[in-house]
Structure 1
């Protein structure tokens, strides 16, 4: 009986050896690849957390500079954010905050450069759209309506469609293109939620152009 068991065990052992000789190398490489991928992911995840933490410290410093109205320090800290942590959300938010201070402190050219960076480098469509909206506003103030309109062409986040149309209307109105401005404002009025207070401002712009939304709706109903 013992001999029979020994023979069976020896046969199983021989089969295992044959299997490992045939597939062992491949299995080893698969295990190495899996372990390497896990190690790489763990390293990446830890590095992301570390990067985000460091970027957060810089953003806090930028926020304090902005609240103090220290435009030079705000620009300097944003420069550090942009150089060292360009892919983080803090860098995107920092660009918008730095540009706000630059506009408030009458540094429109610096704001244009900051917002252009955000418009071209932000990871999320929403950040890009906000940057382009604000950039279009600064360019309009600089009497550069054509450049402002070009910026809006790339502002494509769906949730900001109403605000983009409204800004386009402002630019067209400044160019004296009343009919085109009216069409843009109408698009904005339709896209904005009826509960938003901002919608009333768009309605006022339409009324000033002789196209009050309520009047037009009544006219359509009558016809």
Structure 2
């Protein structure tokens, strides 16, 4: 009986050896690929988390420098963010924050460069849209109407289109193109929810052009 079992075990062992000889190499490489992918995924997650932590700390530095109105410190911190963490969302946030602080400090060229960096290198469409709107405002303030219009005559996320229409209206009004400006303001006003406070500002802009949007556009009075 023991001899019979030994023969069965030997036969099974031979089958295993034969199977491994035929498929063992493929199985080994498959396991290496799976384990390698798992290790790479864990490594990528760790790298991403580590990058986010460092970028968050640098964003705090930009914010602190902006609050202190320390121009040199703002530029240095923003430069470090752009150089090391350009692909994080903090980079776009930092550039927008720095641009505002730099503009307030009279550093208009530096503010424009920070916004342009966001448009060209940012990874968040929302931050890029905000940068475009602010660049349009800077160009309008400088009297460069073509540049101002260029920044908002592009595809933006749907949520920002009413603001883009409002900005186009500002440019057209500054050029004396009253009818075209009115059309843009109307489009912006109609696209915004009734509860949006910004809508009231557009009503004022339309009123300055002689348009009572509440009665002429909707037939509703308050």
TM-score (norm 2): 0.94
Separation in 2, partners of 1:110, 1:99: 7
Q: State the Cα deviation string for residues 176-216 of structure 1 (Å, max 9, x = none).
A: 11111111111110111110111000111112222222221
Q: Deviations over 1:118-162 (max 9, x none)?
A: 011111111110111111111111111111111112351111111
Give 2:102's aligned residue: 102
Query: What secondary structure, in the 3-state scheme, does the structure 1 residue paired with 2:217 have?
Result: helix
C-alpha contact 1:59 1:90 (8 A) present in aligned 2: yes
Number of aligned positions between the proteins: 220
Counterpart in 1 of 2:33?
Answer: 33
For 1:20, the equivalent position in structure 2 comes to 20
Residue aligning to 2:184 = 184
1:26-175 correspondence to structure 2 within 5 Å: 26-154=26-154, 156-175=156-175
Structure 1 pair 28–218 and aligned structure 2 pair: CA distance change class (3 A): closer
Instruction: After superposition, give the CA deviation of every residue in 1:20-57 in whole Å (9 maximum; x if it has no partner).
Output: 11111011111111111111111111111111111111
Gaps of 5+ in 1: none
Match of 2:213 in 1: 213
State the shift of 1:219 in Å.
5.9
2:10 corresponds in structure 1 to 10
Q: Which stretch of structure 1 is more off in the superposition, 201-210 or 60-69?
A: 201-210
Instruction: Give the whole-Å Cα distance in 2 for the aligned partners of 1:105 and 1:145.
Output: 24
Contact residue 51 and residue 85 of structure 1 kept, 8 A: yes
The separation in 1 between residues aligned to 2:171 and 2:187, in whole angstroms, is 14
RMSD over aligned Cα, in angstroms? Answer: 1.5
Q: Which deviates more from structure 2 when the two are superposed, residues 156-165 or residues 208-217?
A: 208-217
SS at match of 1:102: helix
**TM-score, normalised to structure 1's length?**
0.93
Alignment of 1:195-210 (within 5 A): 195-210=195-210
CA distance in 2, matches of 1:60, 1:149: 33
Gapped runs of 5+ residues in structure 2?
none
